[in-house]
A and B are shown apart, each in its own frame.
Chain A
Amino acid sequence: MSASVRIPTILRNYTGGVGEVTADGSTLGEVLESLEANHPGIRSRVLDDAGALRRFVNVYVGDEDVRFVGGLEAPVSDGAKISIIPAVAGG
């Protein structure tokens, strides 16, 4: 399974300045492993020391916040679009 991952500005130093990269995996956890293999250091910026999603980062598979669909176990279909986004203030 291959997915495209949108990288926020503050993580683009891991991707050579690129805003969208591809990664493999059938769950979000696997996709993050694949990201880490290609862009060392990026996973520990998204996950905390305990291996859970950091408190101030939102990850979406398609339009769905992964916290509604299994967190790191969230299924990722072939061609899925994943977004990593820092939490922002209200409006």
Chain B
Amino acid sequence: MTTLIDPALTAVNGPREGAFGNATHLVCRACGAEGPLGPFYACMECFGPLEVGYAFPEITREQIEAGPRSIWRYAPLLPVPADIATFRSTDPGFTRLVDAGNLAADLGLKRLWVKDDSGNPTHSFKDRVVAVALSAARELGLKVLACPSTGNLANAVAAAAARAGIRSVVLVPENLEKQKILASAVYDTTLIAIEGTYDDVNKLASEIAGEEEGWAFVNVNVRPYYAEGSKTLAYEIAEQLGWRLPDQIVIPVASGSQLTKIDKGIGELIKLGLVEDKPVKIFGAQATGCSPIAQAYRAGQDVVAPVKPNTIAKSLAIGNPADGPYVLDVVRRTGGLIADVDDTVVVENIQRLARTEGIFAETAGGVTIGVTAKLIADGVLDPEAETVVINSGDGLKTLDAVADKVGPKTTIAPSYEAFAEFWKGRRP
């Protein structure tokens, strides 16, 4: 096992050779200004988000298939060193792509797959982004892993830091689901509950990131690297479909980072010749109680006015989504759109996915399936087209959503007679 990079050495010498693999620079998504790789996240020219740029060598399917059954099989496509798999991480990814025939029939689709990221180490897609952010933090000599979070990210940061043997600090809104608070605190992280919304927590994290030396706020000062982790969803979907792309993908949207990076990942697969070039329509899914990007889409705008969130889908409750304008760009460019469904529909669709495919999704999954159903009903989604939906997290973290909807069918005395009386009208 390789030891951690010495922060003192990194501070003096800069990151080691190959610290970021095939990544070569940071580039502003808004104005195109370029800069060196480092702990930078906002453009010096226009405040726009910085993204990682690469000089990819030739990469083959066989090379990828020979890699570990985790996101590290795609290491050459990520800003991580070639020896990344020798470091302690949660080794997320390569989650199942479920051929969802029952749900497809229920929804009226011909072919449907659910990319089920509840199978990650802390049961959400956030393990992907955190693993890449942890690598960047390590290579940059940062010593504390931190985040503002709606829950899933806090779980992922706390677990990844525990595994890597470094300190972590996670900031969450105090009204977060209890399961998500416990599922972070159990890793002995420094969990701080904040009296406010996620957007208040986010603001505080940015202020702390500006003051504390040596901290890696995964979605603030190492954001360019963190965000790249979501590309692995696109890589896996393509590989698991036999190195080909689906026709349409429905993706849950909070800040919009995941959707834009899935689009980026698709572009890279095509550019590298790993899949056949074909159009993929990308659709976004929001909860009506926090749907600033869907509202901007419907209004034909390219800026997103912030909202005050009010939805049970707390993992999507970001009222001021940083990547909102780029979500609008992606869905419009690909021929998709972004829509929303209310909380009642969210709960119904958590149950629908569980009933049809045996997948218990968190509220964000209910949002995605709900929007998928709505788009079919509205004649927007092509029922003949091959469709993938993303389930980003696990229903065990958002039990309250279904607590008064499901439960025992009956309570009976422990006797066969009582059972028989109950079962009488239920025989198949």
Contacts and interface: CB of A to CB of B under 8 A. Distances in A.
B321 A90 contact: yes
Contacts, number: 99
Given A90-B257, A91-B150, A56 B46 contact: yes
A39 interface: no
Nearest to A88: B220
Given A19-B210, A56-B322, A67-B306, A89 B30 contact: no
Nearest to B149: A91
Name the 8 nearest CB pairs between A and B, nearest first.
Answer: A90-B255, A86-B42, A87-B322, A91-B153, A91-B149, A56-B47, A89-B219, A90-B254
Contacts of A89: 49, 219-220, 223, 226-227, 255, 257, 322-323
Contacts of A8: 42, 206, 210
Interface in B285-344: 303, 305-306, 308, 318, 320-323, 325
Contact of A86 (B47, B149, B303): B47
B203 interface: yes
Interface stretch (B192-200, B355-363, B366-374): B192-200
Contact of A88 (B41, B44, B325): B41
B391 interface: no
Contacts of A56: 30, 42-43, 46-49, 322
B42 A10 contact: yes
B378 interface: no
Interface of A: 6, 8-10, 19, 45, 48, 54-58, 60, 63, 65, 67-68, 83, 85-91
A87 B148 contact: no
A9 B322 contact: no
A37 B220 CA distance: 30
Interface of B: 30, 41-44, 46-49, 147-150, 153-154, 196, 198-203, 205-207, 209-211, 219-220, 223, 226-227, 254-257, 303, 305-306, 308, 318, 320-323, 325
Most B CB contacts (10 A, CB to CB) among A48, A58, A91 go to A91
A58 B46 contact: no
B49 A87 contact: yes
7 contacts: A6-B210, A56-B46, A63-B203, A65-B199, A68-B308, A86-B47, A91-B154
Given A89-B257, A90-B254, A91-B148, 18 more contacts: A10-B47, A54-B46, A55-B30, A58-B320, A63-B203, A83-B207, A86-B41, A86-B42, A88-B206, A88-B219, A88-B223, A89-B49, A89-B226, A90-B219, A90-B318, A90-B321, A91-B147, A91-B153
Nearest to A48: B46
Nearest to B258: A90
A36 B150 CA distance: 36
Most B CB contacts (10 A, CB to CB) among A67, A83, A90 go to A90
Nearest to B219: A89
Nearest to A60: B203
A20 to B, nearest CB: 10
